[in-house]
Every structure is written in C-alpha cells, then in structure tokens.
Structure 1
Amino acid sequence: MRTTTVGDLRILLPDLDIDDLDSVSDPTDDLSDATIENASWRGVTLDDVTVRGSRLIGADVSESNWEAGSLFGCEITRTDFSGATLSGVNIERCAVSGSRFTGTRLTDIRLKDVLFEGCRFDYATLTRVTAARAVAFVDCVLTDATWSSCRLPDTVLRSCQLARLELDSCHLNGTDLRGNTLHDLKTGLGNLRGVTLDEDQLPDLTHLAVQDLNLTVRKR
C-alpha cells in the first residue's frame, strides 16, 4: 500500500503496475487498468464515466462536461482540465500532478485520499466540494479562485499561491494552512475558524481581521 505524508496528513496513493495497463484513447472504451496518454477529449460530454486503476498522461479534457461517475486509484499527470465542468464526480485515492484546472468548475465533488501537487486552479470555481478523508494541495496555484460552501476539514495546503482566493461559507476546521501567504485572501474570518497557522502568519491574520471588521487603525 503506497502512502505519502503531507504535514500531519497521511494520504493513500494509487498503486499501479504499469505493465498491466492497456493503452486506451477513446473515452467510450473500458477505462479500467488503462494508460491514457496524450488523448484529446476536448469538449466531449462524459456522462457517468468511471476511470479506475489508470494513468492519464498529457490528456486534454479541457472544455469538457463530466457529470457523475468517478476517478478511483488513478495517477493523473500533465492533464488539462481548463474550462471543464465536473459535477457530482467522486475522486478517490488519486495523485494529480502538474495538471491544469484553470477556470474549471467543480460542483458537488467528493474527495477522498487525493493529492494535488504542482497543479493550477487559478480562476477555478469550487462549489460544495467535500473532503471525506485526506486531501492535500502542494505547490498549487489557487489565485483568483472561488471556494463556495466547501467542506474541506483537515485538508493541508502547503506552499500554495493563494492571492485573491475567495472563500464563501466554507468549513475548514482543522485545515493546515502553514507555509502559505494569507495576506491577499478574500475572506471573512468565519471561513478560517479552526484552521492551523504558524506564528509568521499572524500579521496576515491581523490584516484580514482589520478588513473583515472594517476597523480603522490610526496612529496616536
């Protein structure tokens, strides 16, 4: 069983035998135990499609519409989801690296044991995204993104770019935000209830408090 640790979080990873995977390019084919490399699914509609025990490498899924279905036990590398719409998809035990979710709309997504590493989520919209177990974002770009009504407790964000990330009605209790700059977050303090910070982030938190409470700070 492959695992990795991010902060205090232990994440189960996919455990694939590359030699046992078949090469597939058509999304209507069986997507279990497959290698999907440099496939173009741009603009397609994926209805209740399940990808299981597979590798997606350099695939183009941009501008697609994926409703229901799941990703289970997959490695996803350098794949482009920009401008796509994912709704009601379950993502479990997946490692996603170097992939682009620029402007992607993710709605009613359930995450369980998912690692996003070196991914771009700039201008992405996450609505009612839920973490059922360990989820981590490492070295990800989340600038100008919006998280709305997301329940992501105990998630870890490490060395991410969070400028102008907007949080609205989110539950992040236990989430580890150490190692990130929080100064330019667009959020009320209620969205940060119960998060873990380090001492170096306290000035950022003070800045957010001044904004949220509409305080006037003057010199004597």
Structure 2
Amino acid sequence: MATRTIRRTRVTLPALDEPGRYLSNVTSLEGGRGRLAEFQYTDADLRELDLAETHLLDGRVTGLTSRRTRFDRLRVDSVEFTGCDLGSLRWTDTKVSRAVFRDCKLMGATLEDITLDNVLFDNCTFGYATLTRVRTAGPVIFSGCALRETLFDAAELTAGLFDACDLRLTEFDGGQHRGLDLRGNDLSHLRGLTSLRHVIIDRPQTLQLAEALAAELEVTFGEDTDGR
C-alpha cells in the first residue's frame, strides 16, 4: 500500500494502480444515484462545476479547470486530483479520506466543515484561502504548499503536518492544534500565535516565533526611537 511519510506523519495514499483495477474514462463527475466509482476524468475546462450530495470513489481527476466551483456534501474516498485549477472554490460539509491533491490551485478557496483523514496536499497553492472548522480525523500533510495569507479559523489540526510551506501571513484563529508538526517551515511571518499551543517545532524556530510575535504585537524597538 502506497504511503507518504514525513517525519512521524504517514498518509495512506489511494490504491489506484493495483493489479486488475481499471479506471473508466468519464465526461462528467456526476455519477448515477450520486455515486461515481473507478473513474478517470481528464482535461476538462469548465465555466462552472457544481456538485452536491455526490460520492467520488476510487478515481483520478487530472487537468481540471473550473472558473467557479461549488462542492456541497461531496464525499471523496481514494481519489487523486492532479494539476487542477478550482477557481472560486466553495466546499462545505464533507469528509475527504485517502486523497491526494497534487499541483492544484485553490486560490481564495473557502473550505467549511470539512473532515480530512489521510490526505496529502503536495505543491498546492492556497493563497488567500479560508479554512473554517476544518478537522483532521487522521493524518494530513501539507508539503511544499503556498499558504500565503490563508486563514485557519477554528480548525482542529491535531493530526496535521506542514513541511517546506510558504506560511507568510498565514493566520490561525482559535481551534485545537496540539501535536501539529510545524518543523521544516519558516514561522517568522505567522499570525495568531496564541492559537498554536502545544504545536511541535525545532528549537531554532523559537527565534522565528519571537520575530512573528514582535510583528503581531507591533512593538517598537528602542534603538529605532533613540535620537529622534
């Protein structure tokens, strides 16, 4: 079974290349009776994608571009998303299990009430996104992702790990983050440090957190005022 492991966090990946498994090419993600299984959806360019009460199971979505994207109660199990650009994404009230998002653009996305379990975000762009009440029920890895000015609002990332991510002005507002692994990142521009109780860092990152705290408190250094 394929996995992705960084430090102590291991994510189980979709098993789509097992012997005897065949993925059928489809022209839509709207399956019969709200379920689409063992599928491959490739290179679609859509003005709008709106999925509600749909279950995607054992499939690949590759090269999908959507200018306006709405997912409501979209259940995802064992699915790979690769090279997708999901514009104006609003995704609410769902669970995502054993999934991979690789080289995907989620700029300005709004994710609300999402449960993640064994999910890998690899080299994805989340800039200016808002993740509200997102919860890690199992291991979740953000690897090499751009999260600039992304807001985690009342999230529970206790089984999460960030590695080599762009966290400039990334903000954490409330939530539970005990055990969140932030090693391997520059933390000097984080916001909402009081929400990050009991996270895991390396000792040298203490100075980065001090720099972030000074910026958040808008302190003035004495040497900058002396002589004025």
Tell me which of 141, 155, 159 is aligned to 2:160: 155
Superposition pairs of residues 120-135 of structure 1, within 5 angstroms: 120-135=125-140
Distance 1:193-1:159 versus aligned 2 partners, 3 A rule: same
Q: Percent identity?
A: 29
- Between Structure 1 and Structure 2, whose CA radius of gyration is higher? 2
Q: CA deviation at 1:186?
A: 1.7
Distance 1:212-1:144 versus aligned 2 partners, 3 A rule: closer
Superposition pairs of residues 1-220 of structure 1, within 5 angstroms: 1-17=1-17, 20-30=22-32, 31-187=36-192, 189-212=193-216, 217-218=221-222
Tell me the alpha carbon deviations over residues 134-157 of structure 1, each in whole angstroms, 9 at most, x when there is no partner: 000000000011110000113110
State whether residues 91 and 112 of structure 2, in contact with CA within 8 Å, keep that contact through their aligned partners in structure 1. Answer: yes
Tell me the alpha carbon deviations over residues 40-77 of structure 1, each in whole angstroms, 9 at most, x when there is no partner: 34423211111110000001234111100211101110
State whether residues 7 and 156 of structure 1, in contact with CA within 8 Å, keep that contact through their aligned partners in structure 2. Answer: no
- State the alpha-carbon separation in 2 of the partners of residues 41 and 134 from structure 1: 32
- State the alpha-carbon separation in 1 of the partners of residues 132 and 72 from structure 2: 14
Tell me the alpha carbon deviations over residues 149-201 of structure 1, each in whole angstroms, 9 at most, x when there is no partner: 000113110000010111111321111111111111121x3211111111221
Coordinate RMSD, CA, aligned: 1.8
Structure number having the greater strand percentage: 2
Distance 1:62-1:172 versus aligned 2 partners, 3 A rule: farther
For structure 1, which segment, 88-97 or 56-65, has the greater mean C-alpha deviation from structure 2 after superposition?
A: 56-65
Structure 1 regions of 5+ residues with no counterpart?
none
Q: How many residues end up aligned between the 2 structures?
A: 219
State whether residues 31 and 54 of structure 2, in contact with CA within 8 Å, keep that contact through their aligned partners in structure 1. Answer: no
Structure 2 regions of 5+ residues with no counterpart?
none
SS in 2 for 1:5: strand
State whether residues 44 and 64 of structure 1, in contact with CA within 8 Å, keep that contact through their aligned partners in structure 2. Answer: yes
Q: CA deviation at 1:212?
A: 5.0
SS in 2 for 1:205: helix
Distance 1:185-1:152 versus aligned 2 partners, 3 A rule: same
Q: Please, what TM-score do these two structures have when normalized by structure 2?
A: 0.89
Q: Please, what TM-score do these two structures have when normalized by structure 1?
A: 0.92
